Structure 1
């Protein structure tokens, strides 16, 4: 297979209901670009018929279609990593399979890449998500930017384009847990963003629960910055100084006014606050220790069951 200019990497997890719609819109949109391309689907251990549908699509368009079938669910970002390691194009585009990002918008990213940028992010013009999810995402965006200093306007949008050099740098990393847009931003020299349309999910349900989103943001913040630990250290210093000042105040009060009979519940409240603060600090430290533990085990990030591709 000749080297294409564009590789489109699409992670797929239980998307049986919407895959045909994706096929019907994706290939015409890429054909209209007038450039050599390949579509690289990564089946992330789907439990429905997604793998069978990908195999059928490969048989229909073997010239531009490839499929990687993972043996088990590895997560969206690890599935994209598998796609990156097999992509052949000079421009690599990531796209979700749920059609919330219209495939017709890929052309905007390709045009920006051809202007000389090595990383093009996307910003949803009008999000078609619930109000809570939209608000929570914006709040986490602001918090993440303050902690990591990574300026990504819309971190939840996976429609992005990467140059070959940026993808090669990402492939050289052996992290078992990462956030690809942020990792790419650290390697990019000429990043930019474009505004794209956003649609409601065509079929199926979102694979990201509230817990998954919280988990993802913990990985993002602890994987790219030590600021949370530094903030907590400074908070610990402030609490220690406050406790010392309160201790001195109580001693002075006892010497001047005599022993205090009341204030038991205030003492309980203070104790519970300090205990909660300690537990939070232990949990935060555990996040970093857990990442080190995952890394030193040297387990494979994903297992490939099969690769469907046309051979010369």
Structure 2
């Protein structure tokens, strides 16, 4: 049997990093850590679980710190100074990761950690990115509709027909992670960004459970903001669509103007109340289109402004734990800073070697 020379498989000795963003998940952390450690140990190879506290206001930071102190060889706690959002927290965890294969996972336990070995196996078969499809979905109708919109937008932006971009349970090769860390934009949608660098992608079905503790951190406005992040950071399609809509609106306006001119010739000026209501209707259409266009342009300009300021994606306050995995530095310079203002790069820049626990 011939092997495709473009498919690069990994050996069974690959090291594993699991990155988990945490925000007010104190009720889930004990079970999450226990199940993650059990799933990773079943692989029989070096691993690390990186828990990134995204400015939680509950006991999550204390529980992460205690877990990292009790098991420093396998658990690393990364503490951000405030809440930066899920994707920024994941990027902070990716910057700390050292594994050949990196798995990302939500802390809400809706996707079971027991699925980690299956994702690792797929990456070792030669895939750069392995996504997951939640089956059956246990979310509300609103969340499913929002997820469907995000999936369609992501498919349009990347051309990669993955079915569930909203699921954070995913696996990446090291080179894909390093490529993402070298990107400097502030608005980041990680699954789409990863697919822009991947040669081979695939998906597997994973079990999806109802949230048993706590509540979802994505409200209506956060979902809307996530949609804007996706549209404006990965594609200029909305601007092209706006141009097309402007052209169509102009054509309709010209056609409507000709129609009004003909009707006035046929029925006289008394037709349609001297044309006042028609004028208002046309005016509202054009004003609405202008505000829509200005809002979209403003969104792009605002994001350009944030990128030009070049502020870091996140601030790492401290890191607890020292992984058993070693990795040769690749020159990657993540877009985050440590609490003392130093470049956040491969853990040693955050905590000097002699101070690590």
**Which TM-score bucket, shorter chain as reference?**
over 0.9
Q: TM-score, normalised on structure 2?
A: 0.83
Task: Compute the RMSD of aligned alpha carbons.
Answer: 1.7
Matched, 1:290 2:302: yes
For residues 58-73 of structure 1, the aligned pairs below 5 Å read: 58-73=68-83
Cα 1:221–1:15, aligned 2, differ >3 Å: closer, same or farther?
same
Does the 8 A contact of 1:4 with 1:38 survive in 2? Answer: no
Q: Residue 123 of structure 2 aligns with which residue?
A: 113
Alpha-carbon contact 1:19-1:50 (below 8 Å) kept: yes
1:148 offset after TM fit, Å? Answer: 4.6
Match of 2:212 among 194, 202, 209: 202
Runs of 5+ in structure 1 lacking a partner? none
Match of 1:193 among 199, 203, 221: 203
Structure with higher helix content? 1
| Structure 1 CA distance for aligned equivalents of residues 222 and 75 of structure 2 | 30
Cα drift, residue 239 of structure 1: 1.0
Contact 1:4–1:37 (CA<8 Å) still a contact in 2? no
Cα 1:300/1:146, change in 2 over 3 Å: closer
3-state SS of the aligned residue for 1:18? helix
Name the counterpart of 2:113.
103
1:309 aligns with 2:340: no
Deviations 1:110-154 (A, max 9, x none): 110110111100001111111221133223322442355342210
Q: How does 1:147-296 map to 2 (within 5 A)?
A: 147-261=157-271, 262=273, 263-296=275-308
Other-structure match for 2:155: 145
Aligned length: 310
Q: Which residue, out of 41, 63, 70, partners 1:53?
A: 63
For 1:4 and 1:15, the matched residues in 2 are separated by 30
Bigger mean CA deviation after superposition, 80-89 or 259-268: 259-268
Tell me whether 1:7 sits opposite 2:11 in the alignment. Answer: no
Q: Output the CA distance in 2 between the equivalents of 1:106 and 1:36.
A: 14
User: Where does residue 88 of structure 1 map in the other structure?
Assistant: 98
Which residue does 1:299 correspond to in 2?
Answer: 311
Partner of 2:146: 136
| Correspondence 1:124 to 2:137 | no
Question: Residues of 2 paired with 1:104 and 1:155: CA distance?
Answer: 20
